Amino acid sequence: MAWRWGSQIVAQVIAWSSTIMVVRLLTPTDYGLFAMTQVVLTALAFLSGHGFASSLIQTDDVSRRRIGQVFGLLLLFNGSLAVIQFLSAPMMASYYDEPLVADMLRIQAVMFLTIPFTALPSELLAKRLEFRIQGKISMLAATLAAIVALVMAWWGYGVWALVYAPISGFVFRAIALTIAARSLVPPVFDLRGARDILHFGGALTVCQMFWIIQSQSDIFIAGRVFDTHDLGLYAEALFLTLIVTGRFLPPINDVAFPAYAELHRTGKSLAPYFLKTLRTVLLVTAPIYFGLALTAEPAVLTLFGEKWVAMAPIAAGLALAMPAMAIQIVCSPVTNAMGEPGVYVRTNAFGAIIFPLSFLVGVASGPFGLVYAWWICAPLLMFWTLLLTLPRIGLTWRKLFGELSPIMLANGTMVLAVLALDAFLPDPAPFIELLAKALCGAAVYGLAIRIFWPHLIAETWAMLRQGEPSPAVTTHTDRNSAGHAPA
């Protein structure tokens, strides 16, 4: 967990250090154009076949033939996607009425050709819980992509800096992971005996399709209504608020899935491990998002500059919906590990219905209409996911509420303290305001947890260290579990 999550944090620090410099060299229009192409890339990516590679984690049979079958599927799927994106680029450019989008999409099609050489070795290394080498490769890839983006933006290549930077990272990861996992085997296109791979991978592919409809429908719908400037503001605000849920939570799932699977195979109840994961995720993500909502304007002025200030209220509004999304995102590994991907299908199907419908209604009100849609849909999706998940792992709503409510009370205390500070602050420079509010919020949140709920800190630290909390702070959940987190 330290390597998978820690390397992700380092990689994002590298990426965001570059982004903060690049964003000052580019314009909201550049990011609006880039967002249009990302919708197409992500929409096609659900057919990349990554779920077939993930099936190797859940199964006990990982023979050379099985690996070759997965590799063959990945080559077929992603080669086809590269051709489809290349040929459909003019049509998508016509949809957005932006001719440059066609050229961008043709170049970006090369990323699909790298996926077979990243998905397969990543899952093989994950099955062996070998995350150190993956972490090192991710950090090097992030460094390379950051350098390419910064150099191209500095030399005046505009939006092309955003196109070629991720391609360089993808190519590097493909080469390095293939070497590290020693996974380069001849592809096998004879799929006899691969029924379980097709069943599990197919279910995850359907889930991915639903997730893409849910997560990309806002940009797809707004792309025809907003001008590129407003679309760029919304897209970058969404990117800012999704840093934690989109970048730092997937590594938790990457580790939790194989760990849950091993625990389930030994007959252990997954409820205590799942509860600890939810508690840790909320303990970390909730104050970050409420803090962003409270400091959005000085944060945007400090990091992005004056030309991005209109993004601040959008980011603040989106941040309020993200704690619910954080909880929902980390639910799927537990039921997938139990061999019940149908739960994941049903939750993602629900999201694929309510999010696009809400965005269709909200888009008429501009970027804030999309924010309001997030306020409605994120809590609904979280509730529906928990409704399906909790009974299957034997966890009650009362137990869940009892574990998570202290964290939310501590966040409420933090919010009141920062609002009180804001009333007494003069009109300081953005950086001073950001620093003052951040320090105040962090201090109050930490003190509230330490004074009123000290067991949360002790248990979380013990979990991360893979040790037992002291008897003085052991809860009922810990007494009935092995005391180790899924990580």
pLDDT of amino acid 353: 94
pLDDT of amino acid 399: 93
Concatenating the DSSP letter of every residue in 163-212 gives HHHHHHHHHHHHHHHHHHHT---------TT-HHHHHHHHHHHHHHHHHH
Could you give the 3-state DSSP secondary structure of residue 160? Answer: helix
Whether 322 is in a domain gets the answer: yes
Whether 453 is in a domain gets the answer: yes
In this model, does residue 467 exceed pLDDT 60? no
In this model, does residue 69 exceed pLDDT 80? no
Whether 485 is in a domain gets the answer: no
pLDDT of amino acid 482: 29
Percent of the chain with pLDDT over 90: 39
pLDDT of amino acid 477: 32
Alpha helix segments (H runs only) across 46-115: 50-58, 64-96, 100-108, 110-114
Whether 199 is in a domain gets the answer: no
* 131 compared with 470, residue with greater pLDDT: 131
- Rounded distance between C-alpha atoms, residue 210 and residue 198, angstroms: 18
Highest-scoring range by mean pLDDT, 47-56, 187-196, 415-424, 463-472: 415-424
- Rounded distance between C-alpha atoms, residue 205 and residue 201, angstroms: 6
Q: 2-25 and 132-154 are packed helices; what angle lies between their axes, rounded to 10 degrees?
A: 0
Clarify whether residues 180 and 93 are in a common domain: yes
pLDDT of amino acid 18: 81
In which residue are the tokens 């019940």 written? 340
Mean pLDDT of 95-105: 90
Clarify whether residues 161 and 222 are in a common domain: no
In this model, does residue 314 exceed pLDDT 90? yes
- Rounded distance between C-alpha atoms, residue 53 and residue 274, angstroms: 24
Q: What are 344-364's pLDDT values in tens digits? A: 889 989 999 999 999 999 999
Total structural domains within the chain: 2
Clarify whether residues 228 and 301 are in a common domain: yes
pLDDT of amino acid 437: 94
Which of 396, 439, 367, 97 is CA-nearest to residue 271?
A: 396
Clarify whether residues 396 and 436 are in a common domain: yes
* 50 compared with 214, residue with greater pLDDT: 214
Confidence of residue 487 (pLDDT cuts 50, 70, 90): very low
Whether 154 is in a domain gets the answer: yes
pLDDT of amino acid 108: 93
Residues 70 and 57: beta-carbon distance below 8 Å: no
Clarify whether residues 307 and 423 are in a common domain: yes
Q: What are 135-191's pLDDT values in tens digits? A: 888 889 989 999 999 999 999 888 899 999 999 999 998 999 888 877 677 777 776
Clarify whether residues 219 and 184 are in a common domain: no
Q: Which domain holds residue 349?
A: 212-466
- Rounded distance between C-alpha atoms, residue 400 and residue 406, angstroms: 11
Clarify whether residues 42 and 168 are in a common domain: yes
Clarify whether residues 218 and 161 are in a common domain: no
How many CB atoms are closer than 10 A to CB 93? 20
Which of 469, 417, 464, 409 is CA-nearest to residue 440?
A: 417
Point out the domain boundary residue: 140, 159, 192: 192
In this model, does residue 118 exceed pLDDT 50? yes
Which of 485, 4, 3 is CA-nearest to residue 263?
A: 485
Q: Report DSSP state, residue 99.
A: T
Clarify whether residues 232 and 152 are in a common domain: no
Confidence of residue 194 (pLDDT cuts 50, 70, 90): low
Kindly state the tokens that stand for 407. Answer: 């964290």
Whether 173 is in a domain gets the answer: yes
Least confident of 369-383, 435-449, 460-474: 460-474
Going from the C-alpha of 49 to that of each of 38, 55, 70, the distances in angstroms are: 18, 10, 9
In this model, does residue 106 exceed pLDDT 90? yes
Clarify whether residues 230 and 334 are in a common domain: yes
- Rounded distance between C-alpha atoms, residue 244 and residue 444, angstroms: 21
Least confident of 383-387, 399-403, 413-417, 421-425: 421-425
Confidence of residue 474 (pLDDT cuts 50, 70, 90): very low
pLDDT of amino acid 53: 62
Whether 244 is in a domain gets the answer: yes
Confidence of residue 481 (pLDDT cuts 50, 70, 90): very low
Whether 198 is in a domain gets the answer: no
Mean pLDDT of 36-51: 77
Clarify whether residues 127 and 230 are in a common domain: no
Residue 374 burial (10 A CB sphere; 0-12, 13-18, 19+): buried
Which of 36, 157, 42, 158 is CA-nearest to residue 97?
A: 36
Q: Report DSSP state, residue 468.
A: P
pLDDT of amino acid 110: 93
Cα first-last separation, the chain: 5
Which of 119, 162, 157 is CA-nearest to residue 32?
A: 162
Q: Is-above-0.75 flag for pTM? A: no
- What's CA 360's distance to the chain center, in Å? 24
Confidence of residue 414 (pLDDT cuts 50, 70, 90): very high
Point out the domain boundary residue: 192, 220, 246: 192
pLDDT of amino acid 470: 34
Least confident of 54-58, 117-121, 283-287: 54-58
Clarify whether residues 245 and 154 are in a common domain: no
Which residue type is seen at 36? M
- Rounded distance between C-alpha atoms, residue 461 and residue 472, angstroms: 14
* 282 compared with 202, residue with greater pLDDT: 282
